[in-house]
Amino acid sequence: MRVVGYVRCSTSEQAADGLSLEAQQVKIEAWCELAGVSLVEIVSDAGVSGTKMLADRPGGSRISDLLDARRPPVDAVVIVRLDRLGRDAAECLTHLRRFATGALGLVSITDRIDLSTPQGRAMAGVGAVFAELERALIGQRTAEALRMLRAAGRVYGPVPYGFSAVEGLLVGDPVEQRVLARIRRLRARGYSYQRVADRLNSDGVPAKRGSQWFGMSVRSVLRTCSGVATAEVADAA
């Protein structure tokens, strides 16, 4: 298999351990020797930020051209880490999809991604499925934990408007509770969220931490306060 190595570092990364162009090149050469593949050349982008589009970089444009080629002269591109392609998640994902479905493969040494063979592409797909499942499970467990803390009256994150944190417990703040009661009365009279905010601001009523009221902040405090979330969500709909 014939491969091209791609190395990139920004100005701030030049002296960073493991991120210098030389360090990346050594890792790529070592991998190629271990894997028994032929390293045709090293394409380099020195002092180039990862926020710059791949096609707009001097070296990156050559990699982009290889991706566009129907019959590229090499089989794969080898990089040390995925962030060498770019730091923008959306752009990086687009490149990964192109590598996974096109004629050019990709090997990311540190990330252990190999899109240069059918087996490697299949394993990458399976890994993506499990990664997505794990993210979903983590989100579900976090939401359940927060609901339990909230039901028990315990601090579960930023202290919501109308409450204070006392030894890990949520305790009603008398002043803010009166403001909440006023907000509910205004909403019951048909005031929009923004009109409620304007009324509070004109009367000099501060929001949490002394900030200004906005329509979205009024809606948010009503949704997060116990006992009114369901009604406010339905009303907003």
Cα separation, 213 vs 205, in Å, equals 8
Q: Is 10 designated active site? A: yes
* Euclidean distance between CA atoms 161 and 224, whole angstroms: 8
How far is C-alpha 71 from the chain's CA centre? 34
The residue ranges of DSSP E strands in 75-208, in sequence order, are 76-79, 105-108, 113-114, 163-166, 169-172
Q: Beta 169-172 vs 163-166: how paired, if at all?
A: antiparallel
Tokens 């315990």 belong to residue = 154
Q: Which long-range contacts (CB under 8 A, 24 or more apart) does 184-192 make?
A: 184/222, 184/228, 187/222, 187/235
φ, ψ dihedrals at 93, nearest 5°: -65, -40
Catalytic residue, chosen from 10, 49, 164, 220, is: 10
Q: What amino acid positions are annotated as catalytic residues?
A: 10
